Amino acid sequence: MTLDDLYRREYGRVLASLIRRFGQFELAEDAVQAAFEAAMVQWPAQGWPPNPTSWLISTARHKVVDQLRHQQMRERKGDELRQHLELMLECDLEAEPLDSLRLIFACCHPALARPAQVALTLHTLGGLRTEEIARAFMVPVPTLAQRLVRAKAKIRDAGIPFEVPDDTALGERLESVLAVIYLIFNEGYAASFGDDWVRGDLCAEAIRLGRMLVRLLPAEREARGLLALMLMHHSRRDTRTDEAGDIVLLEEQDRTRWNVDEIEEGSAHIEVALRGSPLGTYAVQAAIAALHAQAATPAETDWRRIAALYSLLYALQPTPVVALNRAVAIAMADGLEAGLEQLENIHLPNYHLLPATRADLLRRLGRLDEAAVHYREALKLVTHDAERRFLECRLREVMANAADVDLPLAGSKEG
């Protein structure tokens, strides 16, 4: 392992341990930073300590104590605090696993706005630098830095606790933690059409956080559901685009290149997540993704069950986007016309995937002129380059074929 790996893996844990001890976010951050800097200087020369994490925590703790001592000197306060600090140094050198959990609940506290929750989680638990987070979310660095400063000030001034919420609040608060992790994942996943490594990294970070959450809250089925969902998506990551960066649809992806380990790990979590009621939305989505991942060929996809699961999901989460996905599943299970009919009731203005889906169903039905109209509609709304290229390609295809086949039909319609 390199020091870089260690930083990424342990930064959050070391920081969390210090925040629990001293309660001061910024003081703790400075100290952890200083400890890693010290490691960078000392370890290559003197060799790695037997327990690097303990070394980092104890070094960081000494830095905090030094800082506090200086503060005390300036404020001319007496021995009492010094003794207190010495005592603090003596015991409890290990990072408690619960510290990471406390930290993520503090970072994702609903009193903070979602963008601040995301930035803070990546910064503290992921050890991502301000510039990295800014780049990943395409936000100017000063804006992101400001967001972090404000969030930390609010944690301090508003008294946001460094604690795992008790049972009554856990459900609601966990929801916010899961949403933040999924947002981090999606930010990386949607971007993986491009090849910006920082954003691809976000997926790995989200999965790491998901695994941590499952380890620390093993009884929370939705945490497992989310982890499974991310693993299922991630297992297909390498096959979603070709060498040119163009989109490869699910049915055309090379299934032998899907990551079997991730599919297996995800499937195991889904089983636990689906056990018992009420069912969670992440678990149901993961189950849908699993049915895709487990089909050996596109033709073997169990669209019946996928449509049923989407209906279940729609009952839990009646949003137009879920309705759109359900319509696609119905089209594949019960026939394309049935799917088209479903689309009539969905209102999603400005969302390119609605006309794109309609266009695709029309194309499969051979109604190519109509398909072209809706591809053009979708092209007006699409923002992502790879998706635009895909839609343009499909439009050219249906226009070429429509010219070949459909001209007489078009003529007869008028007649």
Partner 1 sequence: MQYMLMCCIDEALWNGLPDAERDAVMNDYNALIQEMVTSGHYRGGARLQSVDSATTLREQNGKVVTLDGPFAESREQLGGFHVVECRDLDEALGLARRIPPLRVGGSVEVRPVDPAYRL
The footprint of partner 1 (CB under 8 A) covers 109, 111, 157-161, 163, 165, 169
The answer to whether 198 touches 132, Cβ cutoff 8 Å, is yes
Which residue, 142 or 161, has its beta carbon nearer to partner 1?
A: 161
Which residue, 27 or 198, has its beta carbon nearer to partner 1?
A: 27
Q: How far is the CB of 103 from partner 1 (least distance, A)?
A: 15
> What's the rounded Cα separation, in Å, for the pair 258 and 293?
8
Using CA atoms of 98, 99, 104, 107 in order, give the dihedral in degrees to the nearest 10: 150
Which residue, 105 or 193, has its beta carbon nearer to partner 1?
A: 105
Which residue, 106 or 293, has its beta carbon nearer to partner 1?
A: 106
Q: How far is the CB of 159 from partner 1 (least distance, A)?
A: 5
The one-letter code for the residue type at 136 is A
CA distances from 107 to 186, 232, 301 (A): 19, 26, 40
Q: How far is the CB of 105 from partner 1 (least distance, A)?
A: 10
DSSP 352-398: THHHHHHHHHHHHTT-HHHHHHHHHHHHHH---HHHHHHHHHHHHHH
Q: How far is the CB of 106 from partner 1 (least distance, A)?
A: 10
> What's the rounded Cα separation, in Å, for the pair 29 and 23?
11
Q: How far is the CB of 16 from partner 1 (least distance, A)?
A: 17
Q: How far is the CB of 108 from partner 1 (least distance, A)?
A: 13
Which residue, 5 or 166, has its beta carbon nearer to partner 1?
A: 166
> What's the rounded Cα separation, in Å, for the pair 161 and 159?
6
Instruction: Count helices and strands (H / E) in the chain.
Output: 20, 0
Q: Which residues are CB-contacts of 312 (< 8 A; sequence separation ≥ 6)? A: 279, 284
Which residue, 117 or 235, has its beta carbon nearer to partner 1?
A: 117
